[in-house]
Every structure is written in structure tokens, then in C-alpha cells.
Structure 1
Amino acid sequence: MLKKIFFHSALYALPSISLQIVSLLMLPFITPHLSASDYGIYGVILAYISFIGPLRDLGFNISFVNSYFKHPKRWPLIWRALYGHLILWSILFSLIYITLILIAVPKSEFQNIYEILVLTLLPGVVFDTANNIANYYFRFSERPIIIATVGIFSGVIGMIVMYYCIVDLKMGYLGWFYSTFATSLTLFLIYLYPVFIKNKLFPIVKYRKNFIKKYLRVSLPMIPHNYSSYLLNSSDRVVMDWYKIDLKQVGLFNIAYRFGGAFEMIGEAAGMAIGPQYVKLYISKKKSDLQLARQLTFILMALFLTAGFNGAIWLKEVFQILIKNKDLASAYGIGTIILMGYCYRPMYWAAINKLSTFEKTDVIWRISFGAGIINVLLNLIFLGSYGIMAAAITTFISLMIIGFAGFTLKEYREMDNLPHYPIVWLLAIIFATFLSYYVKDIAIWQKAIISCASLIFIFYYIRKIYFEFHLDSNNG
């Protein structure tokens, strides 16, 4: 089981990892053609667009997951009906989307307003909904090779478009919008036949009151939960815009966040494979399966913490190699804190997947939305006085809340009697963050020793956890 989970996780993560690597390797070629203002403008527009991102699917992601596993014969019909209601909803969604674009685009860039509208509205309203459904289909039917292949191909198309627009056409930040559009369109065209035509997953565009009420009752509490991603990842740029912080400073924060965001995307890709496996293990309710879920969490936490720590301490050297822009290259200190914040994810999976599996969605949103609100409030209090470093620290604090608060809920404790030691893991992340920030400027040979020591330690820890589980399983 563990081998299968990690093999599938590797395949799901392959597109994100490979494309992130390619994207990072492209930085020396594109950053000479970009300014800090380009990063700032793009970051602000993207932050406003992201504001309504969680509303796009009405929280139906949990309905797609649960209906597939709980209704093995009826799921295609349920999916078609859900898709149809999302199409009806997209009419109102589009109006809200256009309004936000008009607010987000700086007056100095209004000459590009129609271009930005087309490049963001079509993916945001049409392509991405279909792409998500196709992703669910291949993920739940455990065909990760298809997702990996299609993901890499569409990502390469996006990279080529980005390079051409930024380097050859000198389009600045608009190159990113063209790249995103090209990636989303490519995915849509590839998935159209094998998923929607061949499997007849055409949407049923008909409003059915009783049907939609049943699913909205479960899905709507997920919207505040899904908003946490926006409140944690994008709202700080909006607050910076309100405070009229210089776009160059916003750009520095954006390039620093670029590396934490890459780590987050890899984590999300791994979650595509791991999430359904958690659901299967939790549904069975067998002690051995619950033990396997916990061991999986511990191994993943060890891997995330090691990867985040080593990435953080070497971020200065990475910036020096990849960022061919002196102003942008100075942001590595902020990136260290943000990157370490995303080590929380495996603990988050362990708690949230159990709550969502048993449809405790009415409590999930309290954690995630609450953490997001705390992030916004802290930014409003400190960002004006302490600048972009305050935004990095408040993001870290909020990520720790969203990662570990689930274990404190009564609803979770009533379902789980296997200790996950959240306090220990939380302290480990905090200690590793302080250490990585402290050693980020030491000599390369000293960093190399620290990295080797951490890799040796984690190898023996994972080996111990893995063999302990197999010993317990055999004895059982």
C-alpha cells in the first residue's frame, strides 16, 4: 500500500516538480526582461482574481470525491448534474469576475484591460471547471500516468508561450497571462474527448432544486474553507495595494513567494494521490488501516520538513544563480520564512481528510477560514509599519494554525484515538524555521554539512517508521 501511494504521489507530483524546475531554470533568461513593477502588477491583479476563485466550484470538489467512492454506479449521473449546475452558476460568477478585474488593473495598465479580461475570464470560467472534473476522473480511477503526461505537455506549452511573450515580444507581465491561458486551453482540448465525449460526461444543464440543496448542504461550508488558500496566499498583496506600498516592494514579495508557492504546488500535486488514499483508509475503519494512515502522515511530515529546511537554507544561492536582477535577488530572506511555512501540509491532510470523509464540513471551515482571517488582520495591523517582512511572518503563523488546529476540534478527537503528536511536529517546524533563517548566510561548506546531517537523520527516521509499521502489521 505504501509503495503504491508513494508511486502514485510521485507521478502526480511529476508535472509540478518538473515544470517548477524548468520555470526556475528559465528565471535567468526572463528576469532581465522584467522589472519589480512587473512582478508587483501581476501579483496585485492575480490577488484580486483569486478572491473569487473558491466560489467557482461552489465547494463541489468534496461532492465529486465522495460521490465517486460512495456511489460507484451512480457517480457519472451525479457528476453530470453537478457540472450542469456549475455552468448555470458561471453566468453570475462571470459578472463578479469582470467587476474584480476592473478594480484590480492599475490605471496605468488600462490599455491592456480587454486583453487581460479575455486571457483570465475564459480559463477562470470555462476551461478550469472542465479541467478539474477531468482531473478528478483520472485521479479517482487511479491513472496517474495520464495526468502526469498531460500536465507536463500543457505546462511545456505554457512555458514556451511565456518565454516568447516576455523575451521575444517584450510584453512584461502580460506574458504570464498568455502562458496561463495557453496551459488551461491545452488541458481543456486534450481532456475534451477522452473524458467528456467518450465517457459521455456531458453536463446536464437543468436546475433541480432538491438535488442541488442536498449537495450544497455539504459543499457550501467548504467555500470558507477553500477561501483560506486565498486569504493565506493572496490577500497580503491586496492589503499592500490598500496601503499603497510601492509596486517594487510588492514585486520583491512576489518573487520571494514564488519559491514558497512552488513548494506548495508540489504539495498540492502530492495531495492528489494521497487524498483518495486517506479516504479509503478512513472509510474502512480497520485499526491496521488507521495505523497505516498515521504512519503515512509521519513519513510525509519528515519528507516535507527535510525538503523545506534544505530548500530554505540554500535559497540565497538559488537566488544568486537564477535571479539575474539585483533588486529581485535580495528577497531570499523573505522566501526562507514563506517556504518553511508550507511544511505543515501532511498534518493538515491527516485531520482534514478524516473530517471531510465523514462530511464534517461544518467544522472544517472554522480552521481554514479562521486562519485566513487572522492572516488578514495581522497584515492590516503590522504591514503598514513593518513592510513585506511582516507579511511573510503573518503568513507563516497562519499556515501553522491551518495545519494543526484540526487536531484540537472535538469532532476530530471523537473520531480518532491514535496520537499524531501535533505539538511535537509544530515545534519541529518552528525550530527548523529559526535555524534555517539563522544559517541562511553562512558559508557553503557549513550548509553542506548541515544538509548531509539532516538527510542522514531523516533517512533513519523514515526507515524506522516504515519497518515498525510492517512489524505491527505482521504481528496483527
Structure 2
Amino acid sequence: MLKKLLSHTAIYGLAPQVIKIAQFLVLPIITPYLSPTDYGIFGLIVAIIGAVSVFGSLGLNIVLANSFTRSTHQYKWLWRQIYGFLNLWNIIYTLIVALLLYLFIPKEAYENTYEIILLNVIPLVLFAPSTSIGTLYFQMMSKPFQIASRSIVIGLLTIALNIYFIKYLHMGYMGWFWSGAITQVLFQLSFYIPLNYKIGLKPIYNFKWDTIKKQLKICLPTIPHYYSSYLLNSFDRVIMKFYNLDIVSIGRYNAAQTVGNFLNSATYAANQAISPLLLNVYKTDDKETEQRLNFSVMILFLVGTSTLCLFLKELLPLLIKSDGLENIYSVAIIIAMAYNYRPMYVAANNKLFYVEKTKALLKVTTIASIISVILNLIFIKFFGYTSAAITLYISLMYMGYSGFFIKEFKQMNGTNHYPVFWLCLTISLTVFVFFAVELNFWIKIFIGLALLIVALLGLLKVNKVLKL
């Protein structure tokens, strides 16, 4: 089971995150040709698009996954209707994105307004629903190489295009938009063809409105839940703009989030890998396996993020070589360690998704996003982008662990995941690596090895007690 989890983590979650990972890998090559202003403009525009991104799928992936699990041989009829509905809805969604970009593009990017709009909406208007439905199909069918092959090709192409546009054509932030648009369209097309012509999942446009309404009643309450992700991860830059924080400071914060974004992709990958396994576990009510899976992911991520953060002082100058982006590792550590919230967040909330108690998620995600917005509105004005990193950490910790304490989770008599223990351990490791990053390199090597040994012992402990 652990071997399957590890292999699927490396494959299933890579597909939707391949562009982020590719951008991370080319940082040492392209950052000498980027300025803090480039990072600031790109970060703001991503934040603008993120303001409505949750409305792209309307949360319908939940019912797609549940219908597959419960009716393995009869799911296609529902999937095809939702596919058709999403294609039509996508036209409206694209117009909303274009209008927002036109209204709120930062003044430093006015000269490229229409180009930015086209590069961001063309991938949406063409085959956008095909990507999410195709990825979910291969994920649920346990066909990882269908995703891996696409990921490798698109990943390599993204690397090449980023280097070409930014390093050789000196396009700055526009290079990111051009490479993103090209690779997104190709990635979407690679799912559109097999979905429509091989698998038999052609969209039904003459869908039954009663069916769609029924699914939307389940999924629409999750929109505030998913929107909280935007409020937590991107809205802070909008607040910075509201307070007229200079674009260079926003760029430094955006650059500090580079490692966090990569780790967020990794946690998303683990979530994609573990979700089908957890659905089967919920179906059989196997609490021991459920606990074993979630504990294994938590151990792996805590040791991985802690070890990486120990060496950020040495690693970031190798990755980010732009003038004006020096000494951002302290902020980067806070952001990176914040993403350790996700394994326990998945442990609590996937079960609520499965039993379709989606309204209960509002107690977790809405409060977390409110905490984030309020703290950012109070402190960014006085303490700048550093306070935004601390706010992100506090908010994500709340979102990761509060689900265990709400009434709906307790009523399910769910598996005991010892949330207080994991929360205290995460905070302790964050404080430790924040200060330990300043130690001698060889001392940190010793600490890193010690962390790896402790993690191995932890996995063995889980193995011994829970028969892993």
C-alpha cells in the first residue's frame, strides 16, 4: 500500500502541476533575466485570475469521483452530461476572466494588456474541461502512465519555452504567459482527443437540467471551500496592491513563495494519489488502513519540508539569481512549512466529501479565509509582506486541523488521527528550522540525516503498530 501511494504520488498529481514544477526547475537559468518587477506583475495577474478560478469547474469534480466509485460501470452517462454543461459554462467563465484582467492589470503592464488577456483566456475557451475530466478519469482508472507521459512531454516543452522566451528573447514576465498558453493548450488537447474519440466520453449538450441541478446542489456549497484557497494563497497580493505596496516588495514576496508553490504542488500530488485509496478505504470502513495512509504521508512531508528548509539559505541563491531578490529565505521557510497542513486537512475533509456533508466544510475553510483576510488587512500596512507569510502559516494550520473538531466529523465516529500531536510537531519543526537555517552547513547536514532517521523510525513504528 505504501509503495503504491509513493508511486502514485509521483505520477497522479504531477499532471495538473507540471507547469509549476517546470518553472521551478529552470529558475537558475531564467532568473538572471527577471527583475522583482517581473515577479510582482506576474504574481498580481495570477492573483487576479485566481479570484474567479474556483468557478471554472463549479466543484463538479466531487460528484464525478463519487459517481465513479459508487457506479464503476454506469458513470459515463453522468460524466458526459457534466462535461457538456461545463463546456457551455466555460464560455461565460472565460468572459468573466477577460473582464477582470482588463479592469485590474497593474499599470506596469498596461502596454501588454490585450496580449495578456488573450494568452490567459485562449486555453480556457478551447478545451479546459477536458483536462480536469481526463486527469480524473485516468486517476480513477489507475492508469498513471497516461498522465506521466503527458507530464513529461509538456514539462520538457515548458522548460524549453521558458528559456527561449525569457533568456533569449528577453521577454521578462511575458515569457511566462506565452509558454503557459502554448503548453496549456497542448496539454488540454492531449486529453480532448482520447476522451472524445477513444474512451467514449463525448459531451452531451442536451443534458437533463434536473440532473445538473441535483449535482450543483451538492457541489455549489463547496465553492466557498475552494475559494478559501485563493483567499489564503493569493489574495494577500491584492491587499498589498490596495495598500500601494511597491511592486518590488510584491515581487520579493512572490519569489519567496517559489519554494512554497513547489511544495504545494507536491502536497497536491500526494492528495491526488491518496484520494482514490481513501475512497476505497471509506467504502470498506477500514480505519486502520485510513490511519496508516494519512500518517505515512504526514511523516514523509514533515521530514521532506524540514530538511529542504534547513538548506534554503544555500539553495535559494542558486535558484533565484535576480538582483533585488537576495535574503528572502526566512520568509520562504515560513511559507514552505505552512504547506504541511495538507495531509491532515485531507485526512479530515476527504471523509466529509465522501459522505457529501459539503456544507460542513464551510466551518473550516470560510473561517480560515476570514482569519487570513482580517490579519492581512491589519498587519500588511504596518509590517509589509513578512506579515503576509506569518498570516498564511496561521491560517493554513487552522484549516488543516480544525476539521477534526467540528460536530459533523465527530458524529461520524471517524478515525483518530491525533491532530493535536501533529499540529504541535509541525509548529515545533517550523520554529526549529527557522533558526537552524543559520547554522554551519555541516551541522545542518548532520541534522538533516537525523531527521531522515527519525522519519524512517516513525514509518517503522506505524508499520509495527498498524501492520503496514
Smaller-chain TM-score bracket: over 0.9
**Counterpart in the other structure of 2:264:** 264
**Counterpart in the other structure of 1:374:** 371
**Counterpart in the other structure of 1:182:** 182
**Counterpart in the other structure of 1:88:** 88
Give how far 1:402 is off.
Answer: 0.9
How far apart in 2 are the matches of 1:187 and 1:336? 32
Equivalent residues in 2 for 1:130-209 (5 A)? 130-206=130-206, 208-209=208-209
Amino acid at match of 2:187: L
- Does the Cα contact within 8 Å between 2:345 and 2:399 map onto a contact in 1? yes
How far apart in 2 are the matches of 1:282 and 1:250? 43
How many residues of Structure 1 are paired with residues of Structure 2 in the alignment? 468
- Does the Cα contact within 8 Å between 2:368 and 2:395 map onto a contact in 1? yes
Give how far 1:15 is off.
Answer: 6.0
Equivalent residues in 2 for 1:354-433 (5 A)? 354-433=351-430
Q: Deviations over 1:399-418 (max 9, x none)?
A: 00110011011111111343
Give how far 1:157 is off.
Answer: 1.1
Identity of aligned residues (%): 39
Amino acid at match of 2:108: S
How far apart in 1 are the matches of 2:450 and 2:118? 50
The one of 348, 352, 356 equivalent to 1:351 is 348
Q: Deviations over 1:19-64 (max 9, x none)?
A: 7665444222211111000000000011010010001111101011
**Counterpart in the other structure of 1:107:** 107
1:116 correspondence with 2:113: no
Give how far 1:372 is off.
Answer: 1.4
**Counterpart in the other structure of 2:327:** 330
How far apart in 2 are the matches of 1:119 and 1:20? 17
Give how far 1:127 is off.
Answer: 3.1
How far apart in 1 are the matches of 2:27 and 2:19? 12
How far apart in 2 are the matches of 1:141 and 1:34? 41
Give how far 1:110 is off.
Answer: 2.1
Give how far 1:18 is off.
Answer: 8.3
Moved more, 326-335 or 261-270: 326-335
CA separation of 1:98 and 1:358: change in aligned 2, threshold 3 A: same
- Does the Cα contact within 8 Å between 1:81 and 1:203 map onto a contact in 2? yes
RMSD, matched Cα: 1.7
Give how far 1:376 is off.
Answer: 1.1
User: Residue 12 of structure 2: SS of its match in structure 1?
Assistant: helix
How far apart in 2 are the matches of 1:162 and 1:434? 36
How far apart in 2 are the matches of 1:365 and 1:57? 18
TM-score by length of 1: 0.95
1:455 correspondence with 2:449: no
- Does the Cα contact within 8 Å between 2:34 and 2:173 map onto a contact in 1? yes
How far apart in 1 are the matches of 2:323 and 2:355? 51
How far apart in 2 are the matches of 1:110 and 1:390? 29
Amino acid at match of 2:193: Y
The one of 283, 294, 299 equivalent to 2:296 is 299
Amino acid at match of 1:459: L
TM-score by length of 2: 0.96
Equivalent residues in 2 for 1:3-42 (5 A)? 3-13=3-13, 23-42=23-42
**Counterpart in the other structure of 2:48:** 48
Structure 2 residues not aligned, in runs of 5+: none
**Counterpart in the other structure of 2:273:** 273
- Does the Cα contact within 8 Å between 1:44 and 1:104 map onto a contact in 2? no
How far apart in 2 are the matches of 1:165 and 1:332? 27
Give how far 1:200 is off.
Answer: 2.1
Moved more, 121-130 or 145-154: 121-130
- Does the Cα contact within 8 Å between 2:267 and 2:342 map onto a contact in 1? yes
Give how far 1:420 is off.
Answer: 1.0
How far apart in 2 are the matches of 1:323 and 1:156? 20
**Counterpart in the other structure of 1:127:** 127
How far apart in 1 are the matches of 2:191 and 2:256? 33
1:239 correspondence with 2:236: no
Give how far 1:346 is off.
Answer: 1.0
How far apart in 1 are the matches of 2:148 and 2:123? 20
How far apart in 2 are the matches of 1:54 and 1:171? 29
CA separation of 1:25 and 1:90: change in aligned 2, threshold 3 A: closer
Amino acid at match of 2:211: F
How far apart in 1 are the matches of 2:122 and 2:394? 35
Give how far 1:319 is off.
Answer: 1.0
- Does the Cα contact within 8 Å between 2:195 and 2:202 map onto a contact in 1? no
